[in-house]
A and B are shown apart, each in its own frame.
Chain A
Amino acid sequence: MTLLRTLLIIFLIAVYGLTACATSKSRHYSSNVVQYLYPNQKRPIKTPEIPVLSLPLNVGIAFVPETTRNHRTLTEVNKADLMKEASTHFKQYDFVKSIEIIPSPYLTQKGSFANLDQIRTMFGIDVIVLLSYDQTRFTDEGLASITYWTIIGAYLVPGEKNDTHTMVDATVYDIKSRKMLFRAPGTSHIKSSSTPVNLSEQVRKDSLEGFKLASQQLVINLEEQLKQFKEKVKEAPQDYQIIHKPGYTGGGSLDISFLIFIILLGGIWLWISYRKV
């Protein structure tokens, strides 16, 4: 009878353990460019004008405020690092004069274009690169999690399986005309495992790694989109007006005073040549 009771207890523990293996937790973090720019759906959306791009451009780069304000996954330092990485790729283009990294506090929740206009005035930028993200983390307990019952297993056996899906999206807007110029995404998928004790630390690492990998892909896509945009501007001049700021294009040019002088010079030479004859 005692043996039967012991077997029953072991069976129940095993059933509980296996059920526990199927436990899944997920967390979702995001910042949304549409919610930031068009927060009031009832208000009619203003049609974008034809953008006037004054080259070389002063570009700003910023992270869109998080949709869930109390649950952030990226710190200001992480954001600054990612923005620096993206900005270096913009700097290499001759049509970009400067690139300003705009700290998150300058972007207000649901700030819309009114907020972008403020930033435009404050930082003297023409175009802004709005970075938004979407990250979902899944944590599942694997079969090895049964060893947690030994307590030591919870410290030594990595039975937590983590999945981190990240998408970073860069949307480039001409602020004045409110026209989206182009966009580029970057995605990543990180898999890892950890013990329950260092689960949160591992998840944080995965999260940051996910952002880094997604950003690397974003930069590659961004370069491609930039090239395509340059071609698009050439092919559809009716959609984009390009003007050049002083000094961007130089011309060797002679004015009317010089012209009069050289014409006089030519005239005198002709006259002298006549006289000789």
Chain B
Amino acid sequence: MDILPKSIKSPIPIWTTLILGLSIISYASPQISSALIYDRAAIFQGEIWRLITSHLVHFTPLHLINNLIAFGIAGWIIENRGYQHFVPLCLLMAFFITVSLIVMKPNMIYYGGLSGLASGSIYYLALLGLRESPPWRLVCIVTLFFIPIKIVLEIEINQSIFAYSQPFTIMPHSHIIGCLVALILFLVYSDTANS
């Protein structure tokens, strides 16, 4: 007996699965993760792929699991509903988050984690959901309020609200940039679609 309705049983969300898979591979192999991580000095030495790939690197199992669940759900819904521009969204978020870290966090030497992309994807999903009919539209409105409030609280408290022990400093900064990129992309494509 099929558990999921037909509308949900669309093909596998390729891009989401790919990103999740790469994150797991990177976590399993220290050599791969050291080649992909945001390493400020290495980026300045020309290893610019790290601007994009650093988001696939995770530092602890909990860090990996939390980010994979969040990004997985957001990506799954986006791809399943056929929302466009998910790949450019991910690439732009990845690029702008790391570039902003280079500019605004000069003392931070290493960075990793999908959360910036996850936050941005959820925000993009919620923005596109405004065009949908209720009750999904209502859920998206709540999401659009929840995410900024959560980020503000994170910055105020200077860590995650229910922080778990981690060997790194949590960067709410990346969540802000992720959401801003999502908002800008949404507005750009809305304008293009309208015109």
Q: B50 at interface (Cβ–Cβ under 8 A)?
A: no
- Given known pairs A94-B40, A259-B69, A269-B136, the reply for A252 and B112 (CB within 8 Å) is yes
For chain B, residues 48 to 101, give those with C-beta under 8 angstroms from any C-beta of chain A: 55, 58-59, 63, 66-67, 69-70, 73-74, 76-77, 97, 101
A255 lies within 8 A of B160 (CB): yes
Contacts of B107 in A (CB 8 A): 56, 97, 247-248
Once the chains bind, are B110 and A250 in contact (CB under 8 Å)? Answer: yes
Contact (Cβ within 8 A) A259 B150: no
How far does the Cβ of B94 sit from chain A's closest Cβ, in whole Å? Answer: 10
User: A250 — which chain B residues lie within 8 A by C-beta?
Assistant: 101, 105, 108, 110-111, 168-171, 174
Q: B73 contacts A265, CB within 8 Å?
A: yes
Q: How far is the CB of B166 from chain A (nearest CB, A)?
A: 6
Tell me which residues across on chain A come within 8 A of B171, comparing CB atoms.
250-253
Q: Does B163 contact A (CB under 8 A)?
A: yes
Tell me the count of chain A residues lying within 8 A, CB to CB, of chain B. 34
Q: Contact check: which of B73, B135, B170 meets A253 at CB < 8 Å?
A: B170
Q: Tell me, in angstroms, the Cα distance from A252 to B99 when the chains sit together.
A: 14
**B139 with A268: CB separation less than 8 A:** yes
A114 adjacent to chain B (CB < 8 Å): no
Number of residues in B with C-beta < 8 Å to the partner?
Answer: 55
Task: Tell me how far the C-beta of A269 lies from the nearest C-beta in chain B, rounded to whole angstroms.
Answer: 5
Query: Does B41 have its Cβ within 8 Å of any Cβ on chain A?
Result: yes
Interface string of A233-277 (1 = CB under 8 A from B): 000000000011011111111111111011101101110111011
Q: Which residue of A lies closest to B138 (CB)?
A: A268
Whether B141 sits at the interface, judged by CB under 8 Å, is no
Taking a contact as CB atoms under 8 Å apart, the answer to whether A259 and B136 are in contact is: no
Are the C-beta atoms of B8 and A251 separated by less than 8 Å? no
CB distance from A98 to the nearest CB of B (A): 11
CB contact under 8 A between A251 and B112, given known A256-B164, A265-B122: yes
Question: Taking each of A244, A247, A249, which has the highest tally of chain B beta carbons within 10 Å of its own beta carbon?
Answer: A249
Residue of B nearest to A255 (CB): B160
Cα A138 to Cα B143 in complex, Å, equals 81
Chain A interface: which of B11-19, B113-121, B186-194? B113-121
**A244: nearest chain-B partner, CB-CB:** B167
In this complex, the member of B59, B109, B164, B171 whose beta carbon has the largest number of chain A beta carbons within 10 angstroms is B109
Q: Is the CB of B109 within 8 A of A265?
A: no
Partner of A255, one of B5, B6, B7, B163: B163
Query: Which residue of chain A has the shortest Cβ distance to B42 in the bound complex?
Result: A94
Which of B6, B40, B118 lies in contact with A254, CB distance below 8 A?
A: B118
State which of B5, B111, B146 has its C-beta within 8 Å of the C-beta of A252: B111
* Distance in angstroms between the alpha carbons of A149 and B58 in the assembled complex: 82
How far is the CB of A262 from the nearest CB of chain B, in Å? 5
- Give the residue among A249, A250, A266, A270 with the most B Cβ atoms within 10 A: A250
* Contact yes or no, B139 A248, CB < 8 A: no
The 4 closest A-B pairs by CB, nearest first: A252-B113, A255-B160, A252-B115, A277-B5
Residues of A within 8 A of B (CB): 55-56, 94-95, 97, 243-244, 246-259, 261-263, 265-266, 268-270, 272-274, 276-277
Could you jot down 8 A-B contacts, CB within 8 Å?
A94-B40, A249-B168, A250-B111, A250-B171, A251-B115, A258-B66, A262-B74, A262-B118
